[in-house]
Amino acid sequence: MMKDMIALQLLPCVLFLTVLLAMSATSHAAALRLDLTHVDSGRGFTKGELLRRMAARSRARIDSRWSPPGRGANAHAVTAPVARGTVGKEDFNSEYLIHFSIGTPRPQRVALTLDTGSDLVWTQCFCQVCFPQPFPELDTSASGTARGVSCFDPLCAQGSFSLSGCAVGDNSCMYTDSYGDNSVTTGKLYEDTFTFQQAPNGKAAVVPNLRFGCGMFNTGIFGSNESGIAGFGRGALSLPSQLKVGKFSHCFTTIVESRPSPAFLGTPDNLQAQATGRLQSTPLVRNPESNHYYLSLKGITVGKTRLPFDASAFALKGDGSGGTIIDSGSALTSVPEAVYRSLVEAFESQVPLPVNKNNTDEHEGLLCFTASPKKKEIAMPKLILHLEGADWDLPRENYVLYTEEDGLCVVIGSAGEDNRSLIGNFQQQNTHIVYDLEHNMLVFVPARCDKL
């Protein structure tokens, strides 16, 4: 009886400690704030040059990235890294880099492409065949906490690699991962401590025992300002999965202003902080053939015109084709060719300016209107993406860009023969985008991203 009484007296304390520990875990996840840098940040490009670069990257990404469902050993892993140094067909792919460090006692810098379409986190190590990077490759021998992952570890066999197995001699996990643009990384799976330097307070969050790939043979289309890829997909090896956060988010600042963009692993509780509009949500749609995050797009409105396409034009097909992807790594939103032609007609009929036909090829087919500086603020038709349960009313600056060379350009492109639609990061500027994986929802709210 006495023991029961003591137990009952202690019960409130136990419950309090349980809640306190849960709150501590939640606040730790919420506190993990990182800075992203846009690939063209601080490089002195004019708005016209930025527009050309974004258009070229997006067009080439569509041409090279999307593999038909089922093609290749790892057809679902269909993204690859970041920017090139020159404009053109080789100047494309992902737009944002995430920066942190690996190892102890002296953490070593990595700069990885933020990729919501793949799982593996990897950086270059023990280079046999590698691409140039702006700082030394990772040296695991210099870390006191690095250890190789055994090939008998379940994640070696179940990590969604194109190929994995045992290394001769030490039974470490060897892997090969391939991407839709035919880029390939091969290396060994390691575990070490990650250090995230949180901005703006500068405090470090140190997380031990995270898995990552040491890429030894890396070929394909990679940029000179990255060292690998940070997968933010749904798989067990992605960064959000390993950190056991049920949410992650990003808030891209205005691209032409070259300011850092915040990303959160474990989203702040107050999503209304720095909000400038209404918070909305829409379901995430699963595609068994892809790691990407799909949405249910029902239609598009331009000004007074609802485009004559119903939800079937944007729907995910049974074979994994079609659908609408929200993508951190593509600059421009793109829609199937027939939808794009209708969108162009709607803008042309409602904008009282002549079409600039001189720069069509340079902008990969983007629609631009001839406009003097005095007319750059002329009213443009609204653009609304009708999602399941939400209407994404894009602010003007998220789909219109004025340059002196080109006039007023509608920053939306055609997907050509591809029947997928894609919502790019230009359209996501100054919007806090939350991937709520616990509830399988995408939450978004207009925000002052530079104030978060």
Residues carrying an active site annotation: 115, 327
- Closest to 330 in 3D by CA, of 54, 10, 131, 134: 54
The answer for 188, left when phi > 0, alpha when psi is -120 to 50, beta otherwise, is beta
Separation between Cα atoms, residue 311 and residue 288, nearest integer Å: 20
Place of tokens 């119903």: 310
Helix (H, G, I), strand (E, B) or coil at 349: helix
Tokens of 266: 């474990």
CB contact at 8 A, 297 and 324: yes
Q: Whose structure tokens read 């008998």?
A: 152
Are 209 and 191 spatial neighbours (Cβ–Cβ below 8 Å)?
yes
Q: Can you say whether the dihedral through the CA atoms of 307, 308, 311, 313 is positive or negative?
A: negative
Kindly tell me the number of DSSP H helices and DSSP E strands found in the chain: 5, 27
Contact criterion met (CB below 8 Å) for 420 and 321:
yes
C-alpha separations of 425 from 110, 303, 376 in Å: 23, 22, 23
The values of phi and psi at residue 281, to 5°, are -145, 155
E strand segments, 61-162: 96-102, 108-115, 121-129, 147-148
Write the single-letter amino acid at 369: F
Structure tokens given for 375: 């007319």
How is residue 117 written in tokens? Answer: 């379409």
**If 0-12 CB within 10 Å is exposed, 13-18 middle and 19+ buried, where does residue 256 land?**
middle
> ω into residue 105 within 30 of 0, thus cis?
yes
Q: What are phi and psi of 186, to 5 degrees?
A: -130, 135
End-to-end CA distance of the chain: 55
